[in-house]
Amino acid sequence: MNITINGETREIQEGTTIQALLEALELQPDVTVVQRNEDIIQRDAYEATALNNGDTLELVRFVGGG
């Protein structure tokens, strides 16, 4: 199935959760905000939220610096 991540179409396996996607992309869930179809997903729901064909995601990572 296909989803769009930050404007780029990607093919993923059916049943992939947000948690699994972040792990596959080597992103840390505790510093990544996920917007799915214009709704912000709570971090504690990443593991239970399965993605669907056609979903649009925006992934934003917090980066510290000084």
Among 41, 57, 51, CA closest to 12: 51
pTM of the model: 0.90
Q: What are the strands, taking DSSP E only, across 1-66?
A: 2-5, 8-11, 32-36, 39-41, 56-61
CA 46/CA 17 separation, integer angstroms: 7
Q: Which CATH architecture has domain 2-61?
A: Roll (3.10)
User: Tell me: the pLDDT tens digits for 36-65?
Assistant: 999 999 999 999 999 999 999 999 987 766
Each domain of the chain, given as residue ranges in start order, spans: 2-61
**pLDDT value of position 65:** 67
User: Tell me: the pLDDT tens digits for 18-27?
Assistant: 999 999 999 9
Rounded to the nearest angstrom, the gap between the alpha carbon of residue 23 and the centroid of all alpha carbons in its chain is 10
